[in-house]
Structure formats: C-alpha cells, structure tokens
Structure 1
Amino acid sequence: MSTPNILLTRIDNRLVHGQVGVTWTGSLGANLILVANDEAAGDPVQQQLMDMVVAEGVQTRYFTLSKTAEVIHKAAERQKILIVCKTPRDVLTLVEGGVPIKQINVGNMHFADGKRQIHKTVSVDEDDIAAFRELEARGIHCEIRRVPDEVGEPISRLL
C-alpha cells in the first residue's frame, strides 16, 4: 500500500463550492477533490451541481466514508488530493479507517439548534467538540481558515 498524496482535508458543510473548487485547489495545486460523504456519494444531482464549480483540470470523486478508507491507499502518486467532509465526526471516521490525515482545515460549519458559534463561520455541538479533541489527541492539527490567504486559527483555542 502506498501513502496517498493528501494535501489537505477540509471540513465544510457545503462540501464543494467556488471557494473549494477553484480557490483552494489552485492554492494547494490539487488535481483531485475527493468528497467523502455518504449522502453526496449517492446523489448524482448534487454531484453535478458541485462539479459545475470545480476548476478545469481538477477531477472529482464522490465516495462514502467507508469506500474512501477502503480505496485511498490505491491513489496514484500523481493525484494531489483535497479531501472534503461535512463534519469533524466524518473526518474522525476516516482517520479511524486508516486514512492518513495530518491536518484539517475547518471552513464552514453552519449554526443550528444545539450548536454554539465559536467563529464567524463555525458553530459546534458537543459531538463536534469531542471529535475535534480526539483528532487533536491523535496529533492532527485542526485550524479554522476560510480562504488560503487568511491566517489559520487553531480550533483548540476556541473550544
């Protein structure tokens, strides 16, 4: 098994939108966006909408969390991967499944009942906090950064 070339893992409950599909891929030099989300993996309409905002030359894959963990080590060396998930729990599931994630960029987590806002674009509940703490306990750096030219803020300071 080879080590996949994962450039960054991003948490964004919107998954792929212009900021991810163009700005982040361009900044990172990514040529593959891997959306690891059980719902999106089974929704071709949502996939088509997301594909519309991806820069030319960047491929997309839509896998369930379990399939991502199953196939990530088969990625070719030439694939420069940006993984996008909806929640910190999803990222933790990937890590527990053997996906070698080193750092997490938190872009957007919408406010909802039971959540508290910790940053302009990030709201968390107890499950999110527990997942972030577990990820950091595993040595994975988690920071909030909406766009590449922004200075990242460690999420641990805000929990």
Structure 2
Amino acid sequence: MIKLVRLDYRLLHGQVVFSWTGHVGAQRIIVVDDDAANDEMKKSALLLSKPAGVRVNIFTVDKAIAKMPKVEQLDEKIMMIFGNTAALLKFCQAYPKIKEINYGAVANKPGSVAFDQSVFLTPEEQADTQKLLDMGIKIYSQQTPTFKVVPIDHT
C-alpha cells in the first residue's frame, strides 16, 4: 500500500526520510529517478542513507511504471520519492491511482518562484504541477510531519 508520495530533489535526505518513514510506517522506499537509477555511485549513496530495516528500490520512471502491478501486490507500507516534477508527471499520467503528493523539497534555481520555504518551481516545473493539479491530484508542501501543511493548489 502506497502511504506517501513525495517530491524531493535530494531523494533520501537524512532526518527527513527517517521522520517520514517512521511517520507513515514505511517498510519500503521506492526512489523514482532516472539519473539515480543509472548511476552506480548515486545508488550506493542512497542505499547507505536509508533507515535500518527499510527496503529501498531505485527505478527509472519507465521501470517504476512497469513494476506497479507487482508493487500493488506487496504486503508493505510504501513511500515513493521522485527526484523531479517531470518524472512525477510522467509516472502519474501512466499510473493514475496517485491522489495526493507532498512536494517536500524542490530546489531554488534561477527563474524559479517560491511556493513556500522549501518549494521553488521553474516555469517548466509549474507547468508539470499544473498538469498534476488538472488531473485532480492534491498537492501540498510539508517538509517533515511536524511542519505545517501548505496547499499548492495553483501555479
């Protein structure tokens, strides 16, 4: 059962991933990021940063989409983490069962607009986000479970 879908450019980030994993009781984390899935060094670093006792899979977007029938059969609480809005949009278009997404951290870049203290979206990311919103997906920002939920309901 998917318990949390999170957008975080840092993927598995220290205390953030530990707090969310504990909060939702995740037994498995699925990282969906083409760059990480194709880079052995990044994969190794991600596997070292996971909480003890939590399984981690690192997939490209296409592989994650292909694996979803098998993922749905798992008797585990699952947290999915995406590295960018383009990957998240592509996944959600192919797998329309996602109804809610936590935009935990999107890096501040030149040309981006702040949506809260940890979410900065470029025009391309805003377009991806608007498409997700148009699909009826609820999007919010919440860095950790103790932070206030900030709705992102327009771009």
**Which TM-score applies when normalising by structure 2?**
0.92
Match of 1:104 in 2: 101
Aligned to 2:22: 26
1:41 and 2:25 equivalent?
no
Q: Which runs of 4+ in 1 moved over 3 A?
A: none
3-state DSSP class of the match of 1:104?
A: strand
1:52 is displaced (CA, Å) by: 2.0
Shift of 1:141: 0.6
How many residues align structurally? 154
Deviations 1:76-133 (A, max 9, x none): 3312111111122211100111252111001111111221222211111111111111
Q: Which residue of 2 aligns with 1:64?
A: 60
| Cα separation, partners in 2 of 1:20 and 1:101, compared to 1, 3 Å | farther
User: Structure 1 146/44 Cα, relative in aligned 2: closer, same or farther at 3 Å?
Assistant: same
Separation in 2, partners of 1:20, 1:51: 15
> Are 2:135 and 1:127 equivalent residues in the alignment?
no
Q: How far 1:20 sits from its partner (Å)?
A: 4.0
* 3-state SS of 1:156 partner: coil
Could you tell me which runs of 5 or more consecutive residues in structure 2 were left unpaired when the two chains were aligned. none
The root-mean-square deviation of aligned C-alpha atoms, in Å, is: 1.4
User: Compared with structure 1, are the counterparts of its residues 20 and 100 closer, same or farther at alpha carbon in structure 2 (3 Å cutoff)?
Assistant: farther
Unaligned runs of 5+ in 1: none
Alpha-carbon contact 2:138-2:153 (below 8 Å) kept? no
The code of the aligned residue for 1:54 comes to K
Q: CA deviation at 1:137?
A: 1.5
1:17 and 2:13 are equivalent in the alignment: yes
Work out the CA distance in 2 between the residues paired with 1:156 and 1:44: 37
Question: Does residue 1:149 correspond to 2:109, yes or no?
Answer: no
**Cα shift at 1:74:** 0.7
Q: Distance in 2 between the 1:156 and 1:139 partners?
A: 10
